[in-house]
Amino acid sequence: MKAAVLGTSGYTGQLLLRLLIGHPDVETIIPVSLSKEGEAIQDVDKSICLHALAKFELTGGRCVSLAQAQGLKPDVVFACLPHLKSGEVCACFLGQAVIIDLSADFRFRQAKDFSRAYGSPPPRPDLLSQAVYGLAEWYTEQIKMTDLIANPGCYTTASLLPLLPLAREGLIGQQPIIINALSGISGAGKKTEATYLFAERTENVSPYAPGTSHRHCAEIQAELSANGTEQRVFFNPHLVPMARGICATISVSLAREMTFNELLDLYKNYYGTKVFIGLREKGLPQTAEVWGTNRCDLGFHLEDNQFFIFAVIDNLVKGASGQAIQNMNLRFGLNETAGLAINRP
Amino acid sequence: MKAAVLGTSGYTGQLLLRLLIGHPDVETIIPVSLSKEGEAIQDVDKSICLHALAKFELTGGRCVSLAQAQGLKPDVVFACLPHLKSGEVCACFLGQAVIIDLSADFRFRQAKDFSRAYGSPPPRPDLLSQAVYGLAEWYTEQIKMTDLIANPGCYTTASLLPLLPLAREGLIGQQPIIINALSGISGAGKKTEATYLFAERTENVSPYAPGTSHRHCAEIQAELSANGTEQRVFFNPHLVPMARGICATISVSLAREMTFNELLDLYKNYYGTKVFIGLREKGLPQTAEVWGTNRCDLGFHLEDNQFFIFAVIDNLVKGASGQAIQNMNLRFGLNETAGLAINRP
Amino acid sequence: MKAAVLGTSGYTGQLLLRLLIGHPDVETIIPVSLSKEGEAIQDVDKSICLHALAKFELTGGRCVSLAQAQGLKPDVVFACLPHLKSGEVCACFLGQAVIIDLSADFRFRQAKDFSRAYGSPPPRPDLLSQAVYGLAEWYTEQIKMTDLIANPGCYTTASLLPLLPLAREGLIGQQPIIINALSGISGAGKKTEATYLFAERTENVSPYAPGTSHRHCAEIQAELSANGTEQRVFFNPHLVPMARGICATISVSLAREMTFNELLDLYKNYYGTKVFIGLREKGLPQTAEVWGTNRCDLGFHLEDNQFFIFAVIDNLVKGASGQAIQNMNLRFGLNETAGLAINRP
Amino acid sequence: MKAAVLGTSGYTGQLLLRLLIGHPDVETIIPVSLSKEGEAIQDVDKSICLHALAKFELTGGRCVSLAQAQGLKPDVVFACLPHLKSGEVCACFLGQAVIIDLSADFRFRQAKDFSRAYGSPPPRPDLLSQAVYGLAEWYTEQIKMTDLIANPGCYTTASLLPLLPLAREGLIGQQPIIINALSGISGAGKKTEATYLFAERTENVSPYAPGTSHRHCAEIQAELSANGTEQRVFFNPHLVPMARGICATISVSLAREMTFNELLDLYKNYYGTKVFIGLREKGLPQTAEVWGTNRCDLGFHLEDNQFFIFAVIDNLVKGASGQAIQNMNLRFGLNETAGLAINRP
């Protein structure tokens, strides 16, 4: 297989390069940079092992332009460009390769939902209807059949995986869902703003964009309401002083009385065979336990019909590049775990 | 003034020693150790400036026993011993000195509430009725008159300061209050357990003791229900990878419709003149902004009658030793800010 | 006293503002911004306590322009602007106020030494001869008499304080001095470059600018060679994942055989009465022990005529803003420790 | 292959379990605990993926006793027990399995060298002569032939890999070698001592055991002097606030004048084909770049015949469990990189 990666300077693009180097079914990697055509791969990411560049031979170990990449006919294209740009750029591969877009550009089924969250219409509204939302455990069958996968946001993945079993069964009660999410700083991308400097973030917890103001809240709401019912969701994100990891602590009032074991059975029913979902029957998960893996581990607490779910992921892996690989694996009929870690390093 | 500190090996006792060294109205410090009588103060805390030991002259720069401390007749005694022990030990100073106990032993008005939270009766149930809860901004007048102050817990301080204005005005609606609290690791004290090791905590967020299972939840509930109404509270604590700081993110459904400005006015009314309460009219506070200070800063977000309050403190200062000094200041008629930082270092 | 601070957006300028708020002898603070005239002080640094703005009344709580600041006739001016600019700008206060420049612009006695280190001549070579190097413990008497103080660099302070007693006594042998310095990330200033992002720095140690290539190496060498002897120095800085703190580990071959106690006595002779120098007779100091203080603590190890000195400071305090305050205190005959912490918070 | 791991509660034992789960040539893992026989593997390490326990079937997913492990006839035994105990315990597998001991018990060729460093004789001095020092790039051929491999210490690996090419060529001059090493906290093991608590280590750099007092200094010296010449080495270790990683900054005076390119060629000659050694022709390596990998990356700086080498490893991987796997791979003729990461996660 030949895999192209559009955008090689951010965290998700660089992690994809490293994951693809280790992927047993990928023989050729095509790094594509819009601005740094010709740059050597070891300058893109100085950490890459110089003894492991065989897969980059097709491009002479260098980044190529978009046009060059098209000429090299990749089987799969990962787009790691900024929102509003990614969808526009990667669309040129449609019909030629499977596209997995890590931006938000194809995540909403309705252009108006995208506009509300991002302040302007999606770059390619015409393609929204053919895109499949790449939440791998939920849209597995559709992912296998599509050529355009919209990889979900990190907060969204950490929120939907715990909530969808309840939502699909109609078990969420009247009170609004309250999600308190804690994220490592890489969740902001490699943005060179003062607020993300080490000296600003260490020994610091910062709540931000509360209520319904974060863009991922709209994405969560859109998916939870996919079957018609409007679900109220409040989402309070916080930056915590670590590089990677998300912990979503979710409060749900149940629509009817249930026991802890009934709830556990519900989750086992949905996720018991899913290799990347870790159900904790007792105790709560910690983000470090899934660091570097493509897992989402879930812990539970029930009290007086108030149900608390604790979900942890690595935002760069299951929340971005790892799930993108998982989607590639599903789409091409590969082993679902190929190239992905199930245990922390 | 002569100040004694019972317990010099934990974080709160050591911080008290350092705060008292810098306190303009304290002339003599008496460090008291139950196990390490005779130990030099610079061995208790290697960081203490050797040029700044003048206040320890009375004890020859060394820790003394409880009996010796009684003979030295301190004006104020800070008890920094473990729960169940602290109340028993410090009580011997009653009638002779003002006692400020940093443990939970005098925090509950009802012995049964203590028993439920701590698994055994408080060491001195006979003294509960004369203890004043040392939440300095709320029990100011009572603190000025008592000789037994029960310094509040750190999570409790970060939860009650934002909630009490609403509770006292009867503005909290039917839905349970949900508090998601994030704490630095020093909140656990200097416990030598594997789970608090650096290598276990860095790059790690850990929820624990969810719902109503944390002891501070009982303390919060007891204070919120002080005026008779039973208030449902769920409290989900999380350890985050920093040494100091608490961020409490609180969801409240309002009992009646209110505007953001009405709510802000309510808080200004209660706290506008309180030097250690920082009201943010816009934006949300970060824990680093109050690091090392005795402040509690509050930010707010209102949406659809759902009210979110974001409270930040330094758990060792406003959440423990700093508030203890503030209580001493109030009790002895000193400047309320004496010896306390209002800006981060 | 009236104190002006030029440059309010960097770490040293902001820390100076906070230190001056707490300084007992400063009544008025004049924040000066070249680009943000009119900005409210609480927007400059959101952490500043809103109840503590009385000292900013003269400027209406806002930043003023350079011209306005001149009109307000400060007694002392702290310049916290970038190298090459700072010296040019602050010189306008000469003759009117005492200037304490935190940049490198006046640190070298010879313009050519500056040029070699900074790649261009100093902005005001004409003033070099009247500037006093503000290493407070060494140039105390000169500082008291000058109106132009060149505050030393952070690495330089951590290197010279341990080395000068040996150098002044001619005790440094033939082998080159090797300094391995570890610095917290704030040492780089508030530079918004990708390399200083939290996600790049956490779990990361990075050596950089080795040998004689770091600018502070030139500053160290210049001071060590001040008495005529050319001293070879190699300086290997490393970024370590913390916000504040420097540990300089220094290897010196002694010019003649000495015992550990002789060396200790030498240091006691120089520093025994210096409140901000902490001599450890046994054990080695840690950076956390002086965090937030204006101290430099020193530990020692002698083996086979090879002498190792371990020096720790807080780079923003003793390495910058704190030493600047100390210099102000010395210059104006105030208590040397006024407004400065001697114990960590 | 069947692999047993003795000691499952420390960092190296647990990492070995996770590495072996992912190793393509290991079919069966036998976890052995001296104290916790019968404990389920998911209680040993809560992070282990519950879908990935197939390799533990032979022991029913549980830890077994030493006697049981012997009965199960492992092909290779990794001993992760404390010094002085490990060598005694694992020796019972001699003749039956290949032993890879991660303790110091077989690292010295001379019992007296061990005694000097560890304060008592090695547990099995009779076996020292048949043990091979497991520095994989240097004793490759011997490793392939032995049944007793002494896995090197972490500091030692980070020091010897950069120094041995110089030492073997006789290029190290008269001046003592000075190694300043910076280590993440996991280097201390999972010791529950107050000094390793998160709140003690964050924002803290601590030099310790300077000069020749650290045990690994003896190990380094023993190897460097293996060819007869006594080499003076000073080793100054520092704890820095991260979990994993070592940076060794080494100063060597060269025995004769050489150019940078001659030195680079020397290293290429020794290491050019070694997949786990990363030679940087320009720039210096950072610990994060090899985090989680089995690599040792080297950077260089030459000035005035003073040569500085900067070596980075992950102390738990190349410094312990990873090199142990590498040694197993070499010994059993497997792919040298099997089960090991060459790029960070």
What is residue C230's predicted lDDT score, i.e. its pLDDT? 83
Helix (H, G, I), strand (E, B) or coil at D261: helix
Structure tokens at A197: 């400097």
Q: Is the pLDDT of residue A237 over 90?
A: yes
Backbone angles phi, psi at A255, to 5 degrees: -75, -25
Distance CA A102, CA A96 (A): 18
Q: Is the pLDDT of residue A326 over 90?
A: yes
Calculate the alpha carbon distances from B344 to A238, B126, B292, C21 in Å: 21, 40, 5, 11
Please state the rounded mean pLDDT for residues D301-324.
97
Contact check, Cβ <8 Å, D198/B201: yes
Please state the rounded mean pLDDT for residues D94-103.
98
Residue from the list B205, B243, B306 with its beta carbon closest to the beta carbon of A203: B243
Contact check, Cβ <8 Å, B22/C341: yes
Mutate to test the interface with A, among D43, D51, D276 (most CBs of A within 10 A): D51
Distance CA D187, CA D208 (A): 13
Please state the rounded mean pLDDT for residues B222-228.
83
Touching chains, C (3+ CB pairs < 8 A): A, B, D
Please state the rounded mean pLDDT for residues B222-250.
92
Q: What angle do CA A20, A22, A28 make, to 5 degrees?
A: 50
Q: Is B141 exposed, middle or buried (0-12, 13-18, 19+ CB in 10 A)?
A: exposed
Tell me, which fold does domain D2-130 have in CATH? Rossmann fold (3.40.50)
Contact check, Cβ <8 Å, B242/A238: no
Backbone angles phi, psi at A241, to 5 degrees: -75, 70
Give the residue numbers in D contacting A (CB under 8 Å), as ranges.
Answer: 18, 21-22, 46-52, 202-203, 275, 278-279, 283, 288-293, 295, 317, 341-345
Are residues A329 and D34 in contact, defined by beta-carbon separation less than 8 angstroms?
Answer: no
The dihedral sign for the CA sequence B103, B108, B111, B112: negative
Whole-number average pLDDT of chain A:
97
Are residues D190 and D81 in contact, defined by beta-carbon separation less than 8 angstroms?
Answer: no
- Beta-ladder partners of A310: A249, A299
Residue intervals of chain A classified under CATH 3.30.360.10 are 155-315
Mutate to test the interface with C, among D205, D290, D301, D310 (most CBs of C within 10 A): D205
Which DSSP string do the residues of C258-282 spell out, in sequence order?
A: --HHHHHHHHHHHHTT-TTEEE-SS
Q: Is the pLDDT of residue B226 over 80?
A: no
Backbone angles phi, psi at B253, to 5 degrees: -90, 130
Residues of chain D neighbouring C202 (CB-CB closer than 8 A): 242
Calculate the alpha carbon distances from B52 to A55, B223, C274, C345, D8 in Å: 64, 40, 12, 15, 47
Residue from the list C22, C48, C342 with its beta carbon closest to the beta carbon of B49: C342
Distance CA A344, CA D136 (A): 24
Chain A closest-CA separation from residue C25 CA (Å): 30
Q: Is B262 exposed, middle or buried (0-12, 13-18, 19+ CB in 10 A)?
A: exposed
Question: Which entry of A80, A90, A154, A296 is annotated as an active-site residue?
Answer: A154
Chain B closest-CA separation from residue C156 CA (Å): 22
Task: Give the closest residue to A166 by CA, choosing from A97, A250, A280.
Answer: A250
Contact check, Cβ <8 Å, D202/B241: yes
Whole-number average pLDDT of chain B:
97
Angle between the N-to-C axes of helices A322-331 and A11-21, in degrees from 0 to 180, rounded to the nearest 10: 50
The amino acid present at C17, given as its one-letter code, is L
Q: Is the pLDDT of residue D226 over 90?
A: no
Q: Give the torsion through C-alpha atoms of C3, C9, C15, C17, to 10 deg.
A: 30
What is residue D280's predicted lDDT score, i.e. its pLDDT? 97
Question: Which entry of C90, C154, C247, C296 is annotated as an active-site residue?
Answer: C154
Q: Give the torsion through C-alpha atoms of D164, D170, D175, D181, to 10 deg.
A: -10
Give the residue numbers in C contacting A (CB under 8 Å), as ranges.
Answer: 11, 184-186, 190-194, 196-203, 241-244
Mutate to test the interface with D, among B154, B185, B197, B242 (most CBs of D within 10 A): B197
Beta-strand pair B246-253/B177-183: antiparallel
CB atoms within 10 A of CB A305: 15
Residues of chain B neighbouring A251 (CB-CB closer than 8 A): 178, 234, 251
Q: With bands split at pLDDT 50, 70 and 90, how would you rate the model's confidence at D50?
A: very high
What is residue A226's predicted lDDT score, i.e. its pLDDT? 75
By CA distance, what is B285's nearest residue in A?
A: A206
Mutate to test the interface with C, among B12, B295, B342 (most CBs of C within 10 A): B342
Please state the rounded mean pLDDT for residues D217-234.
88
Helix (H, G, I), strand (E, B) or coil at B2: strand
Residues of chain D neighbouring C184 (CB-CB closer than 8 A): 203
Q: With bands split at pLDDT 50, 70 and 90, how would you rate the model's confidence at A221?
A: very high
How many C/D residue pairs have CB atoms within 8 Å? Answer: 137
Please state the rounded mean pLDDT for residues A251-267.
98
Would you write out chain C's pLDDT as a tens digit for each of its 345 residues?
999 999 999 999 999 999 999 999 999 999 999 998 999 999 999 999 999 999 999 999 999 999 999 999 999 999 999 999 999 999 999 999 999 999 999 999 999 999 999 999 999 999 999 999 999 999 999 999 999 999 999 999 999 999 999 999 999 998 999 999 999 999 999 999 999 999 999 999 999 999 999 999 999 999 998 767 788 999 999 999 999 999 999 999 999 999 999 999 999 999 999 999 999 999 999 999 999 999 999 999 999 999 999 999 999 999 999 999 999 999 999 999 999 999 999
Residue from the list D184, D203, D291 with its beta carbon closest to the beta carbon of C242: D203
Residue from the list B202, B290, B343 with its beta carbon closest to the beta carbon of C22: B343
Contact check, Cβ <8 Å, C198/A193: no
Mutate to test the interface with C, among B17, B23, B51 (most CBs of C within 10 A): B51
Residue from the list C190, C203, C241 with its beta carbon closest to the beta carbon of A197: C190
Residue from the list D211, D251, D306 with its beta carbon closest to the beta carbon of C308: D211
Task: Give the closest residue to D158 by CA, choosing from D179, D174, D188.
Answer: D179
Give the residue numbers in B contacting C (CB under 8 Å), as ranges.
Answer: 18, 21-22, 46-52, 202-203, 275, 278-279, 283, 288-293, 295, 317, 341-345
Query: Containing H/E element for A234?
Result: strand A233-239
Contact check, Cβ <8 Å, B198/D194: no
- Beta-ladder partners of B313: B246, B296
List of residues 6+ apart from D35 with CB closer than 8 A: none
The dihedral sign for the CA sequence C120, C123, C128, C132: negative
List pLDDT tens digits, range D296-311.
999 999 999 999 999 9
Are residues A162 and A328 in contact, defined by beta-carbon separation less than 8 angstroms?
Answer: no
What is residue C311's predicted lDDT score, i.e. its pLDDT? 98
Q: Is C276 exposed, middle or buried (0-12, 13-18, 19+ CB in 10 A)?
A: buried
Task: Give the closest residue to C222 by CA, choosing from C110, C106, C103.
Answer: C110
Of the two residues A1 and D230, the one the predictor is more confident about is A1
Residue from the list B52, B317, B343 with its beta carbon closest to the beta carbon of C342: B52
What is residue A230's predicted lDDT score, i.e. its pLDDT? 83
Touching chains, A (3+ CB pairs < 8 A): B, C, D
Residue intervals of chain A classified under CATH 3.40.50.720 are 2-130
Place of tokens 């990492």: D15
Give the residue numbers in A contacting C (CB under 8 Å), as ranges.
Answer: 11, 184-186, 190-194, 196-203, 241-244
Of the two residues D174 and B319, the one the predictor is more confident about is B319
Strand-by-strand arrangement of the D2-6 sheet: D28-32, D2-6, D76-79, D98-101, D148-150, D132-133
Whole-number average pLDDT of chain C:
97
ipTM: 0.96
Task: Give the closest residue to A48 by CA, choosing from D282, C73, D289, C35.
Answer: D289
- Residue C146 half-sphere exposure toward CB, CA atoms < 13 A: 24
- Residue A58 half-sphere exposure toward CB, CA atoms < 13 A: 20
Residues of chain A neighbouring B207 (CB-CB closer than 8 A): 247, 249, 284, 286, 299, 310
Chain D closest-CA separation from residue B144 CA (Å): 34
Contact check, Cβ <8 Å, A47/D289: yes
What is residue B228's predicted lDDT score, i.e. its pLDDT? 73
The amino acid present at C263, given as its one-letter code, is L
List pLDDT tens digits, range A104-151.
999 999 999 999 999 999 999 999 999 999 999 999 999 999 999 999
Are residues D178 and C178 in contact, defined by beta-carbon separation less than 8 angstroms?
Answer: yes
Which DSSP string do the residues of C33-70 spell out, in sequence order?
A: -SS-TT-BHHHH-TTS-GGG-GGGGGGTTB-B-HHHHH
What is residue C70's predicted lDDT score, i.e. its pLDDT? 97
Residues of chain D neighbouring A345 (CB-CB closer than 8 A): 18, 291-292, 317, 341, 345
Q: With bands split at pLDDT 50, 70 and 90, how would you rate the model's confidence at B129?
A: very high
By CA distance, what is C240's nearest residue in A?
A: A198
Q: With bands split at pLDDT 50, 70 and 90, how would you rate the model's confidence at D219?
A: very high
Chain B closest-CA separation from residue A232 CA (Å): 10
Are residues B4 and B74 in contact, defined by beta-carbon separation less than 8 angstroms?
Answer: yes
Which segments of B219-339 are extended strands (E)?
Answer: 233-239, 246-253, 277-279, 296-303, 306-313
Distance CA A251, CA D103 (A): 47
Q: Is the pLDDT of residue B255 over 90?
A: yes
Helix (H, G, I), strand (E, B) or coil at A141: helix
Tell me, which fold does domain C155-315 have in CATH? Dihydrodipicolinate Reductase; domain 2 (3.30.360)
Q: Is the pLDDT of residue B122 over 80?
A: yes
Distance CA C163, CA C308 (A): 10
Distance CA A289, CA B205 (A): 10
Place of tokens 């200037």: C99
Residue from the list D18, D203, D278 with its beta carbon closest to the beta carbon of A343: D18
How many A/D residue pairs have CB atoms within 8 Å? Answer: 66
Which residues of D are marked as active site? 154
What is residue A225's predicted lDDT score, i.e. its pLDDT? 86
Please list the alpha-helical segments (H only) found in C128-225: 140-145, 154-168, 198-201, 215-224
Calculate the alpha carbon distances from D291 to A90, B17, C205, D245, D344 in Å: 32, 40, 11, 7, 5
